[in-house]
């Protein structure tokens, strides 16, 4: 795609945490940001963990999030392209965004090209070496049998249980995982370097780390982590030439 408008990237909003009441403050801020970019946005990428927990029963979706869902619907209806990458907290996303909002949903990194610049984009969980415990856990969670059994829980029980466990076991509840580990210990950096040996990418865009980062992978390739909307309120912006990390 060739565009004279801007491409935006944001991730890790974790709406619903730590409580619905506190989450609404951050949700309104994110909606205000979406309003502020709607006149010059060509494409918006949401890089995962928009929700602290999301599970789609066949006829039921989680309560709440009306403001952000309504704003995304408005922007999509206006002609702005929106792409959603499933994160580790909303990995049970199915086809709700696609059928209700006309927003394609991806479960793995995907390549895009804008103005002859190539991007590899994804959430970032389970990529690179190590993190073997999480990779095993993800296989269990994404197994169709696991989802089938979970669906038999009444939504009031299933949602309450999942939200409790989500807040207890994630980046928002601790500081250790949001510290910069050094380039040699950053698994996403190692993943980007490996991908670069297979094919050239100008930019790697990921979330998951909750830490805004800009790291040169080579002389003409850069890894950018978009941070989060819990502590940093950061996002990526591509103006057709330059890729920048900004805060709102």
Under the banding of pLDDT at 50, 70 and 90, the label for residue 131 is low
Instruction: Tell me what the mean pLDDT of segment 123-133 comes to.
Output: 76
Q: Please tell me which residue, 142 or 237, carries the higher pLDDT value.
A: 237
Q: Output b/e per residue, 187-198; b: 16+ Cβ within 10 A.
A: bbbbbbbebbee
Q: What pLDDT does residue 173 have?
A: 39
* Whole-prediction pTM: 0.89
pLDDT of residue 177: 58
- pLDDT, tens digit, 9 for 90 and up, residues 45-98: 999 999 988 877 777 788 889 999 999 999 999 999 999 999 988 877 888 999
Q: Kindly report the average pLDDT of the chain as a whole number.
A: 87
Question: If you average pLDDT over residues 188-194, what whole number do you get?
Answer: 95
Cis ω for the linkage preceding 18 (within 30 of 0): yes
Q: Which residues pair with 237 in a beta bridge?
A: 8, 244
What is the strand order of the sheet 243-247 is part of?
A: 105-106, 81-85, 41-46, 6-10, 234-238, 243-247
* Predicted local distance difference test score (pLDDT) of residue 174: 42
Structure confidence at residue 229 (pLDDT): 96
- For residue 112, which phi and psi values (nearest 5 degrees)? -135, 155
Q: Which residue, among 196, 230, 199, 238, has the nearest Cα to 212 in the 3D structure?
A: 230
State how beta strands 234-238 and 221-226 pair: unpaired
List the Cα angle 142/136/162 in 5-degree steps: 50
């Amino acid at each position: 795609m060739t565009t004279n408008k801007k491409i935006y990237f944001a991730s890790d909003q974790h709406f619903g945490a730590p409580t619905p009441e506190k989450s609404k403050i951050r949700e309104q801020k994110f909606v205000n940001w979406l309003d502020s970019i709607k006149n010059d946005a060509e494409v918006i990428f949401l890089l995962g963990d928009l929700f602290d927990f999301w599970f789609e029963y066949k006829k039921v979706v989680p309560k709440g999030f009306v403001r952000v869902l309504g704003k995304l619907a408005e922007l999509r209806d206006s002609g702005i392209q929106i792409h959603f990458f499933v994160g580790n907290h909303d990995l049970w996303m199915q086809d709700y965004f696609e059928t209700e909002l006309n927003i394609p949903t991806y479960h793995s990194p995907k390549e895009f090209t804008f103005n002859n610049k190539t991007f590899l984009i994804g959430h970032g969980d389970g990529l690179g070496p190590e993190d073997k415990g999480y990779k095993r856990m993800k296989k269990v969670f994404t197994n169709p049998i696991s989802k089938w059994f979970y669906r038999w829980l009444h939504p009031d029980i299933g949602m309450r249980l999942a939200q409790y466990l989500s807040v207890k076991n994630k980046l928002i509840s601790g500081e250790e995982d949001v510290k910069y580990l050094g380039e040699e210990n950053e698994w996403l950096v190692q993943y980007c370097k490996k991908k670069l040996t297979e094919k050239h990418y100008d930019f790697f865009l990921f979330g998951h780390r909750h830490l805004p980062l800009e790291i040169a992978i080579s002389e003409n390739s850069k890894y950018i982590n978009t941070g989060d909307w819990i502590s940093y309120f950061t996002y990526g912006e591509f103006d057709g030439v330059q890729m920048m990390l900004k805060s709102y």
